[in-house]
Chain A
């Protein structure tokens, strides 16, 4: 089977504009989540990781980019600088992942047919594809909070099938009144910095940002990290609450390990979804336990980035990949006291550790779960 390597990546978040800048902040335990008094978004103060400066401003010669598109363009541009993938090649594809894309335009623009087209995710994807001269029609994924992770999986599958040699997977989401009010109406926003897997956890912090991973079958990237496998499953239980048993996330973890020919104890780190809601974290702990991975170190990065929705699977996968390059496991910011029913091994401190195989998981509304497994190549 064709190997799929990580050729380059980028994280664009309030913590920094490159993967290295972000990772250096994470190692210093700096969080992008802050208290905001922004009445345009919420009458009440709220904690979130928001951009305060727009230094990543990118222009297109044909069209005025929205903030969502600027984030994508800036992130993709940086990732492409760090590899030699040719966007004009017929074997190169662009995948865009997002949950809500340009939805904030509803807040500033009058409803019209033009607005309907401008909000459509395929419009943004077309604009980004043209900006970077991709020749193939981009693929757009909008599958709730697993969108970014599913982008990586889709890219991996399309390369393995032989249809493409390179896939640029980019995801972004922007925090807006639309999104914040919705999670507030769900009572899902934490009144403090979020506390994944903690006894006192009371909900999420939202975050905005973009992430890009360039996948390639080119062996020039073989001294790198490989995507070993992954999959998705559905809880078939509830549209807005996770499985009570964790069986469906476990099912896809089990299949992913089988696909990669690894056993549970071969995994050196799990980067969990860890949103800091009562039910998500409990479900994940159950799934990890069912998989026999209670001793495997687990972290959640939501305390640093907030929940970046459609970008989360990408941003958090890239952090995990950078952890493998630097052999450091990051702590779970906000976690103090074990607050899930299963005795899983939550990372508390920054640790030096040889990280060879790492699993990223994500779950979202609609009952969806996803996994992706990264390994160092033997030539690494």
Chain B
């Protein structure tokens, strides 16, 4: 059965600007990606030592999820009814290149583990104890219609009651994260491809 679903929160990070539910909540214009991500971590007073071990894709997606979920009461849901459905264009190529540089000398296991795009999903799940459905899709651009269909179907079938979904892409200094918190409880913004596209387009370019 198709039921109404809502975008309870959104977080958009691009060009060193963070938009939470459409509002600019942080910017650090002149830093490179590494320094920018560290400045976000410090600005929001997060304490999570594992953050320092992550690659840029995981740091970006994980920070976006931290900000997205600031008001989320995860204890209201069972771990297995919360899912994470993500997508991007470049999979883990940014870290693949960094790992590949180490092969000639001493292959780095700590980089190799990040040569999969869905590691960022794992990092978000570990932090929040989310144990429901996960999937990572690769497409040349953000495919809101597909995400609406796929995540919406899991919510309609009650396989999930909450879903974190969206886009997390990093290649060298070019990056973008657009995450949505989707719930069944009534909110102002309906979970539709039009609303996702509209929010996606608010990203600073």
Query: Is A184 interfacial (CB-CB < 8 Å)?
Result: yes
Tell me whether chain B's interface is mostly helix, strand or loop, or mixed: mixed
What band does the interface of chain B fall in when counting residues whose beta carbon is under 8 Å from A?
35 or more
Query: Is A135 interfacial (CB-CB < 8 Å)?
Result: no
Indicate which residue in B100, B122, B130 contacts A178 across the interface (CB closer than 8 Å). Answer: B100
- Cross-chain contact B138 with A106 (CB below 8 angstroms): no
Asked, given contacts A121-B138, A142-B138, A178-B103, whether A234 binds B131 with beta carbons under 8 Å apart, the answer is: yes
Residues from chain A with Cβ under 8 Å of B100 in the complex: 106-107, 178
Interface residues of B in 104-128 (CB under 8 A from A): 106-109, 112-113, 115-119, 121-123, 125-126, 128
Interface residues of A in 234-271 (CB under 8 A from B): 234-240, 248, 251, 255
Query: Is A11 interfacial (CB-CB < 8 Å)?
Result: no
- Cross-chain contact B119 with A182 (CB below 8 angstroms): no
Interface size on A, residues (CB 8 A): 54
- Cross-chain contact B119 with A365 (CB below 8 angstroms): yes
Name B133's closest neighbour in chain A (CB-CB): A232
Residues from chain A with Cβ under 8 Å of B113 in the complex: 186, 239-240, 365
Residues from chain B with Cβ under 8 Å of A182 in the complex: 99, 107, 109, 112, 115
- Cross-chain contact A186 with B149 (CB below 8 angstroms): no
Residues from chain A with Cβ under 8 Å of B135 in the complex: 141, 143, 150, 154, 232
Residues from chain A with Cβ under 8 Å of B126 in the complex: 236-239, 367
Instruction: Select the residue from B103, B122, B123, B137 with max chain A CB neighbours within 10 A.
Output: B122
One of B15-23, B35-43, B89-97, B195-203 at the interface = B89-97
CB distance from B153 to the nearest CB of A (A): 5
Residues from chain A with Cβ under 8 Å of B129 in the complex: 236
Question: How many angstroms from the CA of A175 to the CA of B146 in the assembled complex?
Answer: 31
CB distance from A177 to the nearest CB of B (A): 7
- Cross-chain contact B136 with A239 (CB below 8 angstroms): no
Asked, given contacts A103-B96, A143-B118, A181-B103, whether A251 binds B90 with beta carbons under 8 Å apart, the answer is: no
Residues from chain A with Cβ under 8 Å of B139 in the complex: 122, 137, 139-140
Residues from chain B with Cβ under 8 Å of A100 in the complex: 115
Residues from chain A with Cβ under 8 Å of B192 in the complex: none
Instruction: Select the residue from B93, B119, B134 with max chain A CB neighbours within 10 A.
Output: B134
Query: Is A223 interfacial (CB-CB < 8 Å)?
Result: no
- Cross-chain contact A234 with B93 (CB below 8 angstroms): no
Indicate which residue in A140, A144, A366 contacts B137 across the interface (CB closer than 8 Å). Answer: A140
Asked, given contacts A178-B100, A181-B107, whether A120 binds B79 with beta carbons under 8 Å apart, the answer is: no
Query: Is A99 interfacial (CB-CB < 8 Å)?
Result: yes
CB distance from B97 to the nearest CB of A (A): 7
Indicate which residue in B89, B108, B134, B143 contacts A120 across the interface (CB closer than 8 Å). Answer: B89
Name B171's closest neighbour in chain A (CB-CB): A116
Residues from chain A with Cβ under 8 Å of B44 in the complex: none
- Cross-chain contact B153 with A365 (CB below 8 angstroms): no
Instruction: Select the residue from A137, A154, A181 with max chain B CB neighbours within 10 A.
Output: A181
Question: How many angstroms from the CA of A114 to the CA of B144 in the assembled complex?
Answer: 26
Contact with B along A268-310 (1 / 0, CB 8 A): 0000000000000000000000000000000000000000000
Question: How many angstroms from the CA of A78 to the CA of B123 in the assembled complex?
Answer: 39
Residues from chain B with Cβ under 8 Å of A101 in the complex: 91
Residues from chain A with Cβ under 8 Å of B134 in the complex: 143, 232-234, 366, 368
Query: Is B80 interfacial (CB-CB < 8 Å)?
Result: yes
Query: Is A119 interfacial (CB-CB < 8 Å)?
Result: yes
Interface residues of B in 128-172 (CB under 8 A from A): 128-140, 143, 146, 149-150, 153-154, 159, 171
Asked, given contacts A122-B139, A234-B130, whether A186 binds B109 with beta carbons under 8 Å apart, the answer is: yes
Query: Is A34 interfacial (CB-CB < 8 Å)?
Result: no
Question: How many angstroms from the CA of A125 to the CA of B137 in the assembled complex?
Answer: 12
Residues from chain A with Cβ under 8 Å of B150 in the complex: 154, 157
- Cross-chain contact B122 with A234 (CB below 8 angstroms): yes
Name B90's closest neighbour in chain A (CB-CB): A120
Interface residues of A in 102-138 (CB under 8 A from B): 103, 106-107, 111, 116, 119-123, 125-126, 137
Query: Is B13 interfacial (CB-CB < 8 Å)?
Result: no
Query: Is A54 interfacial (CB-CB < 8 Å)?
Result: no
Contact with B along A90-102 (1 / 0, CB 8 A): 0000000001110
- Cross-chain contact A141 with B137 (CB below 8 angstroms): yes
Question: How many angstroms from the CA of A292 to the CA of B136 in the assembled complex?
Answer: 31
Residues from chain A with Cβ under 8 Å of B177 in the complex: none
Subset of 18 A-B contacts with CB under 8 Å: A111-B97, A122-B138, A125-B138, A140-B137, A144-B118, A157-B153, A158-B149, A163-B149, A181-B112, A182-B99, A183-B112, A231-B159, A233-B133, A236-B126, A239-B113, A239-B122, A251-B131, A368-B118
The 7 A-B residue pairs with the shortest CB-CB distance in the complex, in nearest-first order: A366-B122, A182-B112, A185-B107, A140-B138, A234-B125, A185-B109, A366-B118
